[in-house]
Structure 1
């Protein structure tokens, strides 16, 4: 039997230990190839074919390719090192049978060659399988000027194979040099050396909590200066997290273990005795996993939160897709509108809604008590107003599924537009006032404030002009006293498939002559430009986040299954003294739950304060978006935990007394 045969049989017999390493490598290779296949697609580099957004997508993916390779180096180095450390007894047996240190190294290299080769082949096949789906998704998300055709780039295939075979084998050779030349007796003992009770330092235990608290406090109070305070926040938080796992976790579990009421309840005497040692042994791993988890969670939540926040504000300020304001002379001149509607029809965008509303212009003439704000980006417009009748408002409100309002004569309801796409929190401006005094065509009118809402039923203009809704009779009086040249006719359109109407909007904008009495407003170009970029980052970021997630879960999985040989004798002993399988299952469930979810809790807490700091910087509350991402992360973490626990219990059940 050759060394290659031994390596193959060992992998086959220890499938549970290798499965997550294999799957993680496969996923990395798959994502790398998909990105490379896109980058080397013949049409991607042609700006004239796909537009600048296609080049942006390609450049972003090149950056991700570098990130994937760096990540793979660290992940593979750790994985192989962990395997070797747990196999000292196996190497001792091989030495006893006459294998030299050089032969043992070749044996390990053969093992890694088999796993890495299968991983690369599987990853390539899956990459080819999902490339078409990826190309279609990028085309839709980026609104590219042309569809990316499906091709299999030979250059991408060669680069992927050479990169990962060289990387996996290079690291394998490097790590095998660390195989020690211990005597056979020491190797056979392996990790079965008696463990001393874990020790902890009270000062470092206290420092764990104090440092993390300092980091959180700085993050919360920094506000717009978070960029300047980021380094000390990271320094305190990371250092505190390290002490949290190496010192504080041991301190807490030891204190719980010393509580006899808890210790002698059920299987706790075994669970706690093992978990104290396990937390101490795995402290550095859990620390790394929690930091990686916090980075993944924060990055994903940041991109998603920013995208959703921008989307919400654009739609809030622009209920109509396109709108026109016709001012003064030529009121009800329909020629431009008819031409615009024809352009929309020609481009395949049918009208869903068309609204026409008469507006009047007004200026604030009184002293206002404007609600104070800590938002450094706030620049409210409290002077300019459009006047609208309550009937027109309610007609539009029903169309946009907003609540109707009722106003008596002398009352006013305000729609304020105090927000911007980025860096401004939506805030009510006039809510602290009982009355509003407005100047209209040289006359002054005083209205009682009935209420205020953010955003309205007509599109916001460049000055963020507020809208004042008044009783129909009051409005009729004002219209009668306002000359035609001071009146405004607003036309609002909602169209089918508006997100793909950029070409039509460009054409409409081109037909409006300079200094014309019609003002054109649209949300489409701003929305599409921002959403294209943010969606690209979110889409690619999701792939990279999945890699990080799989890696963090796999690291814990490796630790569990590399310790199972030591745990085997303990569980066999428990079987001998009559412990039932369900009781052993309970022990494993508790221990693996702590190991899997303790890093998640720490990562979630770190990310929560990071998101609070980001919200303060943007002047917005993005907690709900963060919780959505965290819930998805928790779901996958739970599935990973169930899978790992099931595989572990399957191994325990197979142990023979």
Structure 2
């Protein structure tokens, strides 16, 4: 048997240890292949996606590949540490450092190549379903099947490169001068984990502050709070596992009634060491899962609510505006839309009037003012309540954000905000819009802008008209004064944009969850060797398998579910920021995402738990 055959047999002998890594690599290869196959689809290129969406898809592929590289390196390094004793024996019987490195390289290349091939095969088997689902997400008809030779080559080469690079890195982990350490393996006497009361309290303060800032965010404060809140939660998460949890477990130990009750002394003591030993892994899984949940959940919430957002942001089906000197150009565009609507037999209503731009006293940004008479024209078409204003009153139309302004000074005229509209009367592009009495409007000086709007019963039926408009009129750079807003075209672009982003978020999220699951399996495999010896000894002095099963249910349950529960809590507060800042309906999509993730994790936990208990039971016979 030559050395290559020895390395191949070594993989076969360690099949249980390699199983999770190999399965996760295969699933990751299938996901990477499927995603690459879709973004290289010839029909997708003919759709003429915006440049920024194409870049988003390419960046997603790079992020996924980098994370896969990190995942493979972490998994292999953890697994190699569990084989210290094996490598120590090989060194003693005469194996050279070069031979050990070659063996590791061959093992990595075998797993990387085979997992890439299996991933490609799995991707091809499910390609029809994936193409149909991706087409729906991206807002198009189901993409046709094709033979993705280029995607196959990219996936295979990518995983072979991962195997080569990881083999180089792994050569630095195992050193010939560590024979004594290798022979001892990972057996080291453990001291009781220490904790700091100050750091535990700091964790609580950081989490409470971060959560509070999340749920009290508004449109104006959200951007400024994202970075500090993220940093607070990241630091607090690490302290949660390294300090606060240890602190709580030590408090449980002081409760002698609970601690000394039957098997509690074992699982509480074991958890103290397990959580401390796995702090970094728990931290990594929690942060990674939070990112995956937040990205999928937020994008899914927007994707699900996209039509309602468009309705809130764009009240009219067609809106055109320009400075008053260019009013004839606005009317020309409106005439084109009217002619198209008449040709298709679509009934419509039209309102044309003016608005002014002005900077309120003490403010920096411009706001829009319209006459009460103009508001009544628009509200009658939009089925809004027409309010009668007193001389010094105004109506604030700013439906997408909360605003606590009680009064506003316009051209030295102080007006009290009598009410705030829940629906817009002109596109939300203009943000703050104030309705004032006709007399006050005439007194206030500002930039006068002419606008013309057309509304229809079902704007979705006007997509062809919007496309024809874009073909006949040049798309100039818009600004606050000059604008062309066609609702059906905006909805179409929004569907594509959110579809691409959601597709990318789901892909990245799946990669995250598959790989973190492998981290947990690798950790279980490393622990089971010690657990077999420990529970075998305890069984000999009277501990039953039923009691061992109860202890392991708690320990494995914490190992698998604890970081995900923390990630879900982080996610709930993160996604809540969208609700409070943008009044977005997030309850249903959030619960759907949480339910799917937790169900998948519970199923994975049940499978691993069953195999783990089976191995422990065999060791007791």
Residue 343 of structure 1 pairs with residue 339 of structure 2: no
Q: C-alpha distance in 2, partners of 1:491/1:167?
A: 56
Secondary structure at the counterpart of residue 619 of structure 2:
coil
Q: Does 1:546 align with 2:510?
A: yes
Task: Choose which of 548, 553, 560 in structure 1 pairs with 2:524.
Answer: 560
Q: Deviations over 1:139-176 (max 9, x none)?
A: 444345x8755333433332322222012221123113
Matches within 5 A, 1:285-324: 285-315=281-311
Q: State the match for 1:21 in structure 2.
A: 21
SS class of match (1:655)? helix
Q: Report the CA distance between 1:417 and its aligned residue.
A: 11
User: 1:199 — aligned with what?
Assistant: 194
Deviations 1:432-456, CA, capped at 9 Å, x for gaps: xxxxxxxxxxxxxxxxxxxx99569
1:584 aligned partner: 548
Distance 1:319 1:70 in 2: 43
- Rounded to whole Å, the distance in 1 between the matches of 2:340 and 2:206 is 65
**TM-score normalised to structure 1 length:** 0.71
- Which residue is equivalent to 2:328? none
Change (3 A) 1:579 1:219: same
Contact 2:28/2:514, CA 8 A, preserved across alignment: no
What is the deviation of 1:275? 1.0
Work out whether residues 101 and 167 of structure 2, in 8 Å CA contact, stay in contact via their aligned partners in 1: no
Deviations 1:243-284 (A, max 9, x none): 221122111112212322112223212111111111111111
CA contact (8 A) 1:34 1:127 kept: yes
Structure 2 Cα separation of the partners of residues 320 and 617 of structure 1: 24
2:317/2:455 contact within 8 Å kept: no
2:53 corresponds to 1:52: no
1:51-70 superposed matches below 5 A: 51-53=48-50, 57-70=53-66
Count of residues paired in the alignment? 551
Q: Partner residue of 1:111?
A: 107
Q: What is the alpha-carbon distance in structure 1 between the residues aligned to residue 252 and residue 538 of structure 2?
A: 23
Cα deviation, residue 419, structure 1: 6.0
Report if aligned partners of 2:215, 2:573 keep a CA contact under 8 Å in 1.
yes
- Separation in structure 1 between the aligned mates of residue 93 and residue 551 of structure 2, nearest angstrom: 37
Distance 1:643 1:183 in 2: 37
Match among 246, 254, 262 for residue 250 of structure 2: 254
Q: Which residue of 2 aligns with 1:443?
A: none
Relative to structure 1, the CA distance from residue 50 to residue 653 in structure 2 (aligned partners, 3 Å threshold; closer, same or farther) is same
**Matching of residue 527 in structure 1 with residue 491 in structure 2:** yes
Listed as ranges, the matches of 1:165-176 within 5 Å are 165-176=160-171
* Alpha-carbon distance, 1:77 to partner: 1.2
| SS class of match (2:525) | helix
Pair 1:502 & 2:463 matched: yes
Aligned partner of 2:275 in structure 1 is 279
Residue 632 to residue 9, structure 1, CA distance change in 2 (3 Å) = same
1:164 aligns to 2:146 (yes or no): no
> In structure 1, what is the Cα distance between the partners aligned to 2:68 and 2:213?
33
TM-score (normalised: structure 2):
0.74
CA change 1:640–1:387 in 2 (3 A) is: same
Separation in structure 2 between the aligned mates of residue 569 and residue 208 of structure 1, nearest angstrom: 36
**Aligned counterpart in structure 1 of residue 535 of structure 2, from 568, 571, 596:** 571
Tell me: CA distance 1:511–1:289, structure 2 relative to 1, closer, same or farther (3 Å). Answer: closer
Which residue, out of 155, 171, 184, partners 2:150? Answer: 155
The RMSD of aligned alpha carbons is 4.6
The residue aligned with 1:640 is 604
Select 2:589's aligned residue among 625, 629, 641. Answer: 625
Judge conservation of contact 2:341–2:347 (CA < 8 Å) in 1.
no
1:245 aligns with 2:241: yes
Local SS of the residue matching 2:64: helix
Contact 2:301 2:585 in 1 (8 A): no
Which protein is richer in helix relative to its size? 2
521 and 196 in structure 1: CA distance in 2 versus 1, 3 angstrom threshold = closer
Task: Tell me by how many angstroms 1:534 deviates.
Answer: 0.6
Which residue number in structure 2 is paired with residue 226 of structure 1? 222
Residue pair 1:191, 1:566 contacting (<8 A) in 2 also: no
After TM superposition, the structure 1 = structure 2 runs for residues 63-82 of structure 1, keeping only pairs within 5 Å, are: 63-82=59-78
- Name the stretch that deviates more: 8-17 or 522-531: 8-17
CA distance in 1, matches of 2:547, 2:464: 67
Q: Go from structure 1 to structure 2 and tell me whether the alpha carbon gap of 1:338 and 1:34 turns closer, same or farther (over 3 Å shift).
A: same
Aligned match of 2:558 in 572, 594, 599?
A: 594
1:83 paired with 2:79, answer yes
CA distance in structure 1 between the aligned counterparts of 2:277 and 2:180, rounded to whole angstroms: 23
Deviation sequence 1:182-203 (CA, Å, 0-9, x none): 5655433322333222222222
Deviation at 1:130, TM superposition (A): 3.7
* Structure 2: unaligned runs, 5 residues or longer: 320-336, 354-364, 385-394, 406-419, 435-453, 474-483
Unpaired runs of at least 5, structure 1: 324-335, 345-353, 362-375, 398-415, 430-451, 467-489, 513-519
Matched with 2:614 is 650
Q: CA–CA distance in 2 between the matches of 1:380 and 1:602?
A: 48
**Quick one: distance in 2 between partners of 1:250 and 1:461?**
50
In the other structure, the counterpart of 1:537 is 501
User: How many Å apart are 1:630 and its aligned residue?
Assistant: 2.4
The reply to whether residue 216 of structure 1 matches residue 211 of structure 2 is yes
* Contact 2:139/2:496, CA 8 A, preserved across alignment: yes
Instruction: Verify the 8 A CA contact 1:289 1:552 in the aligned structure 2.
Output: yes
Partner residue, 2:325: none
Give the corresponding residue for 2:392: none
1:110-153 deviation digits (Å, cap 9, x = unpaired): 22222111111111222333444444444444345x87553334
The one of 174, 180, 196 aligned to 2:175: 180
Give the direction of change, closer, same or farther, for the CA distance of 1:246–1:182 in structure 2 (3 Å limit): farther
CA shift, 1:492, in A, is 5.0
